[in-house]
A and B are shown apart, each in its own frame.
Chain A
Amino acid sequence: MQTERLYNIVSNLIVYILAFALAIGLGALIIWGFLGINPFYSLSLIMTTALLSYNGLLSTVLYLVPLTLIGLGLAICYKARFWNIGADGQMIFGAIFTMGMALFMTRYTYSSLVVPLLLVMGIIGGAAYGLIPAILKVKFKVSEVLSSLMLNFVAIYLMTWLVDVTGPWKDPSSAELQSYPLPHTYFLPYEYISLLAITVVAIIIISYLYHRTSFGYKLKVMSSSFQAADYAGINKERQFIMIGAISGGLAGLAGALQILAIDHLLASTFDGIFFGYLGIFVAWLAATNPVYIIFAGLLMGTLINGGYFMQAISGVSVEFVYYFEGVVFISIIVFQLIKPKLRRLLKID
C-alpha cells in the first residue's frame, strides 16, 4: 500500500517534469525559430532568473494565489459534475465589486479598516455572478458550459466599459484605460504573507467542507453518480446553487486580492492571462483534491511565470503567453497518456 503510493507519486512527478520540459522546450523552440535566440541560453535564463531567484519566486506567488483559489472553487464544481467554466467572469466581477466599494468608501474614510470589507465585497460579487449559471441550470435547464462561458464575455465588456475613455471610473490623468488608483491605505498589508495566508485558510476551510460537513458528503455521493444521489434523497438543485456560490466566491476573492495586493487599480488589461481558464486546468491536474490544488497551482504558476519571462526576453507580444499556456496543457495531457506505460515499466500493476 505504502510503496504503491510512493510509486504513484513518482510516476506523477516524472509525468509533470517531462510535460514541463516539453512545454518550455516548445516555447524556446518557437522563439529560436522566429527570433534566432539560442534556446539553451533562454532556457538557462528562465531557470536561473525567473524560476529559482528570489524575485522569480515572489512573482510565482502572484500567479500561484489566484490559480489556487480559482482551482479550489472549480474542483468543487467538477466533483459534482457542474461544468462551470465561468471563473474568469466571476473573478472580474469580484474585482469590479471590490473596486466599486473602494471608490465609494474613499468619499468617507481612508482608514485601512476598510480592507476586510473590500475582500468581502469581492467574495459577494463573485458569488453573485457564480449563482447565475447555477440558477439557470436548476430553474431553466440551461447548460452551464454555455451560460458561464457567455457570462465571461459580459463581465469583460462591463469591466472595459467602466474604465473606457467615457467610462465612469476612468482616471482622466492616465493615458491607459484604467480606473482611479486605490489610496495607499487600502492596499493589502504584508502582501505576500497575507496572500499566502488567505490561500492556506481557504484551503483549510474547503477541506473542512469536504470532509466534515454534510455538504461534502453530498458532494462525494454526487461525484460517484447522480443516480446514487437521487436514491440518497439528496437535493441536487440546492447543492448546485451552493456550489455555484462557493466557487464564484472563491474566484471573486481572487479578483479582490488581485486588485488590493497587486494591481491597486482596475485596468482594462485586468486578467490578461485568463486566470479563470487556467484554473480549470489546475482543478483538473489536482484531480479535484483540495490539498493537491496548491501544488497544481504552484506548477501552473511557475510555468506561466516562465512563459512570461520568455515573452519578456524575446520581446514578442503577450499573445505568446496564451500559446505557451495551450502548449503546457496539451503536453501535460499527452504525458498523462504515457502514465499507464510508466506504471508498467516501474512494475506497479
Chain B
Amino acid sequence: MISSYTLLDFIIAVIGVGISYTTIYLAASLGEIFSEKGGVMNLALEGIMAMGAFVAYGIAFNTGNVYLGVVAGIVTGMMMGLLFGFLAITIRINQVLAGLSVWLVGYGISYFIYELTYNRSLILLHSPTLPTVPIPYLVSIPYIGQALFNHTIIDYIVYLIVPLLWYIMFKTKWGLKIIAVGENPRAADSVGIGVNKVRYLVVLFGSAMAGLAGAIISLEVGLFIIGITGGRGFIAVGIAVFSGFNPLYGLLASLLFGVVSAVGPSLAIIGIRIPYEFLDMLPFILLIVAAMIIARRLLTPSALSMPYQRE
C-alpha cells in the first residue's frame, strides 16, 4: 500500500508536473479558442507546436539565448499560421483537410530536419533552458510553494494573459468583431467588418500561441526529441472546444487535463509502474467523456468550419 509519505510526494509531484503540462495546454488552447470563436478550426496545432519547439530549440542552442528561442518559436508559429490561413481562408478548402496537411508538413519537416542537423551523433545536444524565477515569500509555503510558485517567466505570462484575453473577447470591440465573424460572417461583412482579415488575425494569434507552446515544450528541458509534442496539440484543440470557447474556462479545462496528464509521470516518480500507455490514453478518453457530458449544452460558433465567400 502507499504510505502517507509517498502519497504526499505523489500529490506534490502531480501539482508540479501538472502545472507544466497545464501551461503548454493553456498556451495552445487560448489561441485555438480565439480562432474557433472567429470560425476557423485549426487542426494544425500539433504540427505548428512541433515546428515551434524545433526552431526555438535550434535558435536557443545556436545563440545561447533562450528568449530569442521563444521569439523564434512564436514567429515560426505565425508563419505556419499564414500557410494554414492561406489554405483555409483564402483558398477556402475544407478546414479539416487544411489543418491535417499543415500538421503533416510541420510534423514531418521539424523532426526530419532535426535528424539531419542536431541528431547526427548519439549524444543529445542540450540547449539552454528557461530559468525558473521563484516568487518571493510564496515559494516558501510548505509543500506546494515549490510546485506552484517556482516557474519560468513565460509560464507566469501565459497565466496572466488569461484574464486579459477574456476581457478582450467579451468586453471590447475587437472581441465583438471576432464573435460576429464566427457567428454570422455575412452580417458582419454587411456592417463593414473585414471577415477574412479578422479570421487571418485570429489564426495568426492562435498559431503564434501554438508556436509559444512548442517553445515552452522544448526549452523547458532544453531538448528536442522525435515525438516530443506527443499529441498535445490535438488535446489543446479538444480543450478549446471543452472550454466552450471561453478563456477563463480554458484555464480550468487546461488545469484538469494538466493534472490528468501528470498522473502517469508522477506515479513513475514514486515508483509505481502501470503500463504508461494507459496513462497516456487518459487525457484522450477524458476528452471524449467530457464532450459527452457537455456537448448538448455547448454553444459552438454557428459559422465554425464554414469558409466565407462574398457573393
Contacts and interface: CB of A to CB of B under 8 A. Distances in A.
B285 A143 contact: no
Contacts of B278: 157, 161
Contacts of A316: 112, 115-116
Contacts of B108: 319-326
A180 interface: no
A254 interface: no
B91 A334 contact: yes
Contacts of A325: 104, 108
Contacts of A85: 96, 100
- The dominant DSSP class at the B interface is helix
A325 B226 CA distance: 18
B11 interface: no
A154 B278 CA distance: 9
B281 interface: yes
Nearest to A331: B101
B290 to A, nearest CB: 10
A167 interface: yes
A115 interface: no
A307 to B, nearest CB: 10
B87 A330 contact: yes
Interface string B1-17: 00000000000000000
B67 interface: no
A284 B288 contact: no
A293 to B, nearest CB: 16
A277 B100 contact: yes
A199 to B, nearest CB: 24
Contact of A326 (B101, B234, B237, B300): B101
Contacts of A309: none
Contacts of A320: 108, 112
- The dominant DSSP class at the A interface is helix
Interface string A158-181: 101100101100000000000000
A7 to B, nearest CB: 23
A272 to B, nearest CB: 12
A319 B105 CA distance: 10
B285 A154 contact: yes
Most B-side CB within 10 Å, residue of A83, A277, A319, A330: A319
Interface in B59-102: 83, 87, 91, 93-94, 96-98, 100-102
Interface string B103-121: 1111111011101110000
Contact of A150 (B47, B100, B112, B287): B287
Contact of B105 (A83, A154, A330): A330
B41 to A, nearest CB: 7
B107 A141 contact: no
A142 B288 contact: yes
A281 B109 CA distance: 19
Nearest to B278: A161
B292 A157 contact: no
Nearest to B117: A34
A327 B104 CA distance: 8
Given A157-B280, A164-B277, A319-B107, A150 B238 contact: yes
B116 A150 contact: no
Nearest to B226: A319
A210 interface: no
A326 B102 contact: yes
Contacts of A147: 288, 291
A160 B288 CA distance: 20
B237 A323 contact: no
A161 B277 contact: yes
A316 B98 CA distance: 26
3 tightest A-B contacts by CB? A323-B108, A322-B108, A326-B105
Given A153-B281, A316-B116, A330-B83, 15 more contacts: A141-B295, A141-B296, A142-B288, A142-B292, A145-B41, A149-B234, A154-B281, A154-B285, A319-B115, A319-B226, A320-B112, A329-B104, A330-B87, A333-B101, A334-B91
